Amino acid sequence: MNHLSLIVRTIVAWLVTLTIVFPLIWLFLTAFKTELQAIAVPPELIFTPTLENFHEVQARSDYLLYARNSLITSVLSTVIGLALAAPAAYSMAFFRTKKTKDLLMWMLSTKMMPAVGALVPVYVIAQTAGMLDSLTGLTIVFTLSNLPIMVWMLYSGFKEIPPDILEAARMDGAGVWGEFVHVIRPLATGTLASTGLLCLVLSWNEAFWALNLSSANAGTLATLIASYSSPEGLFWAKLSCASLMAIAPIIVLGWFSQKQLVQGLTFGAVK
Amino acid sequence: MNRLLPRLLFAPAVVSLFLWMIVPLVMTLYFSTVHYNLMQPGEKTFVGWENFAYFATDPDFAVSIVNTLVLLGSVIAITVVFGIALALLINEPFPGRGIVRVLLISPFFVMPTANALLWKHMMMNPIYGILAQVWIFFGSTPVDWLTDHPLFSVIVMVSWQWLPFACLIFITSLQSLDRDQMEAAGMDGANPLQKFWFLTLPHLGRSIAVVVMIEMIFLLSVFAEIYTTTGGGPGNESTNLAFLIFKQALMNFDVGVASAGALFAVILANIAAVFLIRMIGKNLDK
């Protein structure tokens, strides 16, 4: 009985999973097809793969520029974010006061406000400061958008460190910097890494601010994909190819850190 | 020195966030009371409540609120129901479970614009799309999803993206389910349905609440999918509050009205946020 139910469950689970993931599988396959193969009716499952789309996407839409912008804004916002969040989280985890919890809650609440609520002022400020369509503007906005979650995740991670170790380090004469470098950093590398990863993912996928604040110069991959919205001639294979290149790195990153990422996004409300 | 150091450490983050929150808020409050069009940068005349009245009496406004609520409600319902179902399905071990879990989380990491176009062209296109092929295979005429059912199509796209998120939360929660209690119930003659209703579901209660609140907060701002596929249309059929504000701000360039609308959105978000903050606060105390 148990054996039969195992088989049934396995089959159902795999069928459901493949159905849900099917659009992505199809995207992957189509990226290696020619345009004619891509629109074939009925759809072709067996075909000889080609790499021509990868060349064409770069030639037609300067893919590398957008990829570079995505990379720069993601990495910079992560680095700056960590630089701002780590000291804050450290301070809140190890120098706790009565106000610490309120401070943390307030920080989280800033993330809960809809981005569209700040669209108008941020746009006007960016316009006045000449930061529309600039990597600087995007990086700043990404950093601030992700900062609350980063502080939160680092705080949760730092709290796991047993205070006795810090006591021992202090008694050995380590100053704050020494504490951080020799005790915190080795123990919290996991937290730092997954927090950084989370910021990378969120910034890379960030579409709202990217669409509204950037254009030809600072556009990210998110905006490039959006520009494929109106079809001009046969373009499905190229769209699949461009999309695949844009989303693949993040999906792979996500596979490695799904637990921490979801932890971060639920603000730790589910243990 | 002892009091100064901690404050210096968190000062940069706190100050940045404070500015990030206060400056736009104050500006929005200010803009909502003036007539300011980005195309006529010189003129800013005080108009009091006029922007709010204009935004609220815009026929698109009522529609956008309804659309927003429908979008929110549908996606939450779909992700919670199917998320629980999925979590129950893959909770017990089976061959390939690790790979399944990894595959299932993938839709969540696809960027919204790619998600939108994936569905718009590959799945929902009435001639070449996969769904059209399936419809033809079963002998019926394909549906033009985005034209005939725009809001529903957006709901499908967004649900597809958030289902893995809900599922992962529920799996995590299920793993702390008390096995012994389940077994005892089984020995007392409870069937699977009763076990689910009386044991599993209450245990999941907290995570359901978290999923609902998190999704409420993030789904309020659904924008990229609508922007990339339907453009809010046809007409205003798939316009939600976020898109309406965007339309006023960056298509009509009417900053005043858009700001008034933004305040509505902030109020809506605040309602959900209050409950979520309370829940998190309780967790922090543990």
Residue A141 has pLDDT above 90, yes or no: yes
In terms of domains, do A84 and A6 share one? no
pLDDT band for position B23 (cuts 50, 70, 90):
very high
Which whole-number Å values give the CA distances from A63 to A221, A241, B20, in the listed order? 8, 11, 32
**What's the pLDDT at A1?**
55
Interchain CB distance below 8 Å, B130 and A121? no
Residue A49 lies in a domain: no
Domain identity same for A179 and A225? yes
Chain-chain contact of A211 with B259 (C-beta, under 8 angstroms)? no
- Domain membership flag for residue B25: no
- Chain B CB contacts of A41 under 8 Å are 127-128, 133
- Summarize pLDDT for A170-190 with one digit per residue, the tens: 777 777 677 777 777 777 888
Residue A59 maps to a domain: no
pLDDT of B6: 82
What digits encode the pLDDT tens for the residues B179-217?
Answer: 888 888 888 888 888 888 888 888 888 889 888 888 888
Domain-located, residue B203: yes
How far apart, in whole angstroms, are the C-alpha atoms of residue A44 and residue B125? 16
pLDDT top residue among B223 and A266:
B223
- B126 by Cβ neighbours in 10 Å (0-12 / 13-18 / 19+) ranks as middle
Shortest alpha-carbon distance between residue A174 and chain B (Å):
15
Q: For residue A137, name the pLDDT band (cuts at 50, 70, 90).
A: very high
Q: What is the pLDDT of residue A271?
A: 56
Is the same domain home to A155 and A248?
Answer: yes
A70, closest residue in chain B (CA to CA)? B111
Q: Is A196 found in the same domain as A70?
A: yes
Instruction: Give me chain B's average pLDDT, please.
Output: 86
Average pLDDT over residues B35-63: 82
Q: What is the DSSP string of A12-67?
A: HHHHHHHHHHHHHHHHHHHTTS-HHHHT-SSPPSS-----HHHHHHHHHH-HHHHH
- Is B168 inside any structural domain? yes
pLDDT tens string A48-102: 888 888 888 777 778 888 999 999 999 999 999 999 999 999 889 888 888 888 8
Higher pLDDT, B284 or A67: A67
Is B13 within 8 Å of A225 when comparing Cβ atoms? no
Q: What is the pLDDT of residue A224?
A: 87
Q: Is residue B215 part of a domain?
A: yes
- Residue A38 — pLDDT band, cuts 50, 70, 90? confident
Taking residues B39-45, report their average pLDDT.
77
Tell me: pLDDT of A118 over 60.
yes
One-letter amino acid for residue B255 of the chain: V
B6, closest residue in chain A (CA to CA): A91
Cα–Cα distances (Å) from A85 to A73, A77, A80, A93, A107, in that order, read: 17, 11, 8, 12, 11
More confident residue, B206 or A44: B206
- Residue B16 has a pLDDT of 94
Residues A182 and A248 in one domain: yes
**Residue B53 forms part of a structural domain:** no
- Listed range (A132-136, A229-233, A236-240) with the worst mean pLDDT: A229-233
> Residue B194 is encoded by which pair of tokens?
């009763």
pLDDT at A82: 94
* Nearest residue to B152 via CA among B250, B245, B78: B78
CA A124 to CA A222: how far, in whole Å?
Answer: 22
Is 80 exceeded by the pLDDT of residue B283? no
Q: How many domains does chain A have?
A: 2
The pairing of strands B44-46 and B34-36 is: antiparallel
- A209, A247, A270, best to mutate vs chain B, most B CBs in 10 Å: A270
Gap between the Cα atoms of B266 and A184, Å rounded: 38
At residue B72, the pLDDT reads 92
Q: Are A98 and A169 in contact (CB under 8 A)?
A: no
B137's tokens: 């295979």
What's the CATH code of the domain at B211?
1.10.3720.10
**Nearest chain B residue (CA) to A81:** B13
The whole-number pLDDT of residue B268 equals: 82
B101/B26 Cα distance (integer angstroms): 45
Q: Per the structure, how many domains does chain B have?
A: 1
pLDDT confidence of residue B82 = 95
| DSSP H/E element including A211 | helix A208-213
Residue B45 lies in a domain: no
Q: Which of B3, B10, B271 to mutate to test the interface with A (most CBs of A within 10 A)?
A: B10
Q: Are residues A154 and A229 in the same domain?
A: yes
Please state the φ and ψ torsions of residue B114, each to the nearest 5 degrees.
-65, -40
- Asked if residue B106 belongs to a domain, the reply is yes
Out of B5, B133, B228, name the one closest to residue A176 (CB).
Answer: B5
Does residue A251 register a pLDDT over 60? yes
Query: Are A17 and A141 within one domain?
Result: no
pLDDT of residue A269: 64
List the domain range (segments joined by +) for residue B91: 64-285
Quick check: B21 and A113 CB within 8 A?
yes
Q: Region B165-169: what's the mean pLDDT?
A: 90
Q: Is residue A55 part of a domain?
A: no
What is the DSSP-derived secondary structure letter of residue A232? -
pLDDT digits (tens, 9 = 90+) for B73-98: 999 999 999 999 999 999 888 888 88
Share of chain B above pLDDT 70, in %: 98
pLDDT at res. A233: 56
pLDDT of residue B77: 95
Q: From CA A180, how far away is CA A183, in angstroms rounded?
A: 6
Q: For A256, which residue in chain B has the nearest alpha carbon?
A: B102
Residue of A112, A142, A265 to mutate, interface with B, max B Cβ within 10 Å: A112
Q: Torsions phi, psi of B46, nearest 5?
A: -70, 125
A264 contacts A149 by C-beta, under 8 angstroms: yes
**pLDDT, average across residues B238-255:** 87
Q: B75 exposed, middle or buried (CB, 10 Å; 0-12, 13-18, 19+)?
A: buried
Minimum CA–CA partner of B281 in chain A: A105
Q: Which of B7, B24, B241 sits opposite A118 (nearest CB)?
A: B24
Which tokens go with A82? 């960590």
What's the per-residue H, E or C state across chain B? Answer: CCCHHHHHHHHHHHHHHHHHHHHHHHHHHHHCCEEEECCCCCCEEECCCHHHHHHHHCHHHHHHHHHHHHHHHHHHHHHHHHHHHHHHHHHCCCCCHHHHHHHHCHHHHCCHHHHHHHHHHHHCCCCCCHHHHHHHHCCCCCCCHHHHCHHHHHHHHHHHHHHHHHHHHHHHHHCCCCHHHHHHHHHCCCCHHHHHHHHHHHHHHHHHHHHHHHHHHHHCCCCHHHHHCCCCCCCCCCCCHHHHHHHHHHHCCEHHHHHHHHHHHHHHHHHHHHHHHHHHHHHHHC
- Report yes or no on B216 lying in a domain: yes
What does the mean pLDDT of chain A come to?
85
- Token pair in block for residue A27: 């995207």
**Residue from the list B10, B24, B38 with its beta carbon closest to the beta carbon of A88:** B10
Nearest by CB to residue B245, choosing from A30, A116, A124, is A116
Determine contact, residues B84/B204, Cβ cutoff 8 Å: yes
Average pLDDT rounded to a whole number, residues B109-120: 91
- Asked if the structure places residue A58 within a domain, the reply is no
Residue in chain B lying closest to A206 (CA):
B111
Tell if the CB–CB gap between A226 and B227 is shorter than 8 Å: yes
Whether the bond into B234 is cis, omega within 30 of 0:
yes
Please give the residue range of the domain that contains residue A99. Answer: 65-265
Assess contact for B74 and B85: CB atoms under 8 A.
no
Instruction: ipTM value, please give it.
Output: 0.85
In a domain, A270, yes or no: no
Q: Is residue A151 part of a domain?
A: yes
Quote the pLDDT of residue A232: 62
Please answer yes or no on whether B128 and A258 come within 8 Å at the CB atom. Answer: no
| Interchain proximity B221–A114, CB inside 8 Å | yes
Q: Which chain A residues are within 8 Å of B270, Cβ to Cβ?
A: 113
Distance from CA of A231 to the nearest CA of B (A): 9
Give strand pairing partners of B254: B37
Give the C-alpha separation, B48 to B52, whole Å. 9
A118: domain CATH number?
Answer: 1.10.3720.10
Q: Is residue A201 part of a domain?
A: yes
Q: Which residues of A touch B232 (CB under 8 A)?
A: none
